[in-house]
Amino acid sequence: MKKFLIVSGVIIGILLILGYVFRGVLQFAVMAYTMRPDAGFAETTPPQKPDYAITSNWAALPDAEDLADRVPTANTETLQLTADVDVFFVHPTTLLGGAGWNQDLDDEEINRRTNYGTILGQASAFNACCRVYAPRYRQATLLSFFTPQGDGGDALELAYRDVVRAFRFYMEHYNNGRPFILAGHSQGGFHLDKLLGNEIAGTPLEEKLVAAYPIGYYIDDGNGIPICQSAEQTGCQATWNTVSLDANSGGSPDSICVNPLNWSASGLHAGFDENLGSVSFRGNQGTKDNYPQIELGVVDAQCRDGALRVSEIRSENYGQSFITEGNYHLYDYSFFYMNIRENAVVRSRAYLAAK
């Protein structure tokens, strides 16, 4: 019996060690199981196609009161109603599971998650330069990115078709010839990469593109839009994926990485003092007078091996990794919120001054 207990203890100890070492993989396996829709894509009926003439199918519009109007401090300016530049913003994945592969736009809980998690925390970064347009779309569920050759690919293609329809509606009914920025995150960055290649590059609209920020998805320059090399450059794209120094990025060394602290794609390190302010909107979902705190110098940054690497997080407000340890995907905007905000203004002014 004593020998049995010793052997059992050793086995349990080994399992605990393996569980700790491979905790990211185990967590993902559990997550993937719980997120999987009830049936395959072909066996489900897609949600109703959105009509973009209906304002409720937009998460943000310049003349509507929405969370893209929020600003990070009481004295920060928003210029949505008077701006000479627009931003078309495609939100990231907020559909984390459920019965189907794509979101039903009547799902109020998912819409609320989109509003408070992405329109507030990401799209609002552009209200100092631009009128903000952010469509709701039948986004693909998160699991789609891990089954891109099957059901997930079909779900992503359905979502992309909505994004294209929303963009074309925006151009026809809202744009009125103004220059524009394309911005998004994660699934939004994935769709924008395709949109840039299919709808912008090599067309007359490319002349109207101030800049693109398809952030949070590993892409290369295959969409035909130049990579931003400086803070003032226009007609270019800037993207990054934030990880720790030793994390496996999951991307390719050829992935675009533009450092949002110095707007260089050269790999030049930017120190903590170059970070104009990180903003966490968590816990600040109340009234428009409830402003979050801007924290200076939370992270540094350097592009290396196709990813944006930070050496340290000097705040307790950003402690959550995404799926694997050291993956700071959730903070691609939050860490660099004020730098993004300033840069969108800088590029917009440079574009307008050149015309």
The pLDDT tens digits along the chain (355 residues) read 444 434 333 333 333 333 433 344 444 444 454 567 777 877 888 999 999 999 999 999 999 999 999 887 755 667 778 899 999 999 999 998 877 899 999 999 999 999 999 999 999 999 999 999 999 999 999 999 887 778 899 999 999 999 999 999 999 999 999 999 999 999 999 999 999 999 999 999 999 999 999 999 999 999 999 999 999 999 999 999 999 999 887 788 889 999 999 999 999 999 999 999 999 876 544 444 455 789 999 999 999 999 999 999 999 989 888 888 999 999 999 999 999 999 999 999 999 999 8
The tokens of 70 are what?
Answer: 């929020």
343: closest CA among 290, 289, 274?
A: 274
Which string of DSSP letters, residue by residue, matches 290-336? -PPPEETT---BEEETTEEEES----SS----SSSTTB-GGGTTGGG
Cα–Cα distances in Å, from 148 out to 21, 24, 44, 152, 201?
27, 20, 17, 5, 25
Q: What would you report as the CA-atom Rg of the chain, rounded to the nearest whole angstrom?
A: 21
CA torsion through residues 193, 189, 181, 302, sign:
negative
pTM above 0.75, yes or no: yes
